[in-house]
Amino acid sequence: MTQPILQFGTGRFLQAHVDLFVSQALARGEAIGGITVVQTTDSPQSSARLAALASGRGYRVEVQGRMNGERVVETVHVDSVREGLNAGRDWARVLEAVATDVQVIVSNTADQGYTLNGSDSVALLWDAAAAPRSFPAKLLVLLHHRWRCNPDAALSLYPCELVSRNGDTLRDLVLDLAQVWGTRAPFQAYVREHCVWVNSLVDRIVSAPIEPAGAVAEPFALWAIERRERMVLPCTHPAIVLTDTLARHERLKLMLLNLGHSFLAERWIVDGRAADETVFQAMSDTALRAELEAVWGDEVLPVFEAEGEGEHARAYLVGLRDRLLNPFLAHRLADIAKDHREKKRRRIAPLIERAIEMNLALPQRRLHAALSSNAEGNSL
């Protein structure tokens, strides 16, 4: 039997996030059904993971950390994944699934997931045996098949990649490719108007895999979903927040969590701190913790206050401190420092620019110093 949720991506994040939510919701009768996962990469490790997921036996997620000041250690059994397919070998079966009962498509396709591949061509629209190489092309072919077989059925797409307004972005990529391939106008209208492309923000630190399937994750979890007319939710869950203000959630994560991470990485590089230092160890250093608290209190929160969002930012910080003080999470600053300059440009510069736009006259000394420095984590 075809599952109503089709998922692109088998990595540990989705295992400990969407798949876990659906599993818990199924036990309460609050999910639309199970999940078929589609593996799009080939390696011995990913093949072993797919086999484990496809077995139907489920897997465990170890939830470890702090929440509301209390230590949390628990094991969650996840059994929402009912079928596993390999895009390269099982493309005809993926097409068959989309043609029938699929109501929701979920994806998390890593950093290069939205990159097109020049070898993909319009001929793939009619070749049931060959899967396109890029994810946008895969999605275009699947939607074209769905349009031909079942054009009136509801279909909601939930990209979970960490891209601002990810639903709109992925829709536009697919539509642009549909135009390049010369597809018919009625099909393009179907993609643009009938399919429901949902913007969302996912937030959970999943620190390690459990082989062959499973993961270690922090207690905190959030899936902020922007309300859209006609969208079909995969499930209901306490960690799923329906919102008309998705940008607020994005700003909180970017300018408090992500900015905080990059500030710690900046100090790690500039001060020549221990090569294997983790976020927990950095937060346990009294002097460095005081510097980060000063950044949040003196240079970040005033911007949120001026925006009328100070209460939300302070509440977010309460939970964020618990997350960064997670003694179980081996989140290395060396990993956070990868692509450090680009991350600073995306995480720090917008806050400084917003303070200037609002004429706040904030010195923001520490943030200006971090943004203007030439420190680069990749060079270490």
Tokens for 24? 């818990």
Q: Which CATH class is domain 5-244?
A: alpha beta
For residue range 302-319, list pLDDT tens digits in order. Answer: 999 999 999 999 999 999
Per-residue pLDDT tens over the stretch 207-230: 889 999 999 999 999 999 999 999
| b/e per residue 304-324 (b: at least 16 CB within 10 A) | beeeebeebbeebbebbbbbb
Pairing of strands 206-209, 200-203: unpaired
Tell me what pLDDT residue 50 has: 95
Is-contact 109 8, C-beta < 8 A? yes
CATH 1.10.1040.10 assigned to 247-379? yes
Spans of all domains in the chain:
5-244, 247-379
* Average pLDDT along the chain: 94
pLDDT in tens, 182-215: 999 999 999 999 999 999 999 999 988 999 999 9
pLDDT class of 379 with cuts at 50, 70, 90: very low
- Mean pLDDT value across residues 314-341: 93
Q: Of 41-45, 66-70, 300-304, 356-360, give the lowest mean pLDDT range.
A: 41-45
Q: What are the tens digits of pLDDT across the range 92-126?
A: 999 999 998 899 999 998 767 899 999 999 999 99
Quick count: other Cβ atoms within 10 Å of Cβ 338? 12
Query: Per the structure block, which two tokens stand in for 269?
Result: 């590089």
Q: What token pair was written down for 68?
A: 């509301």
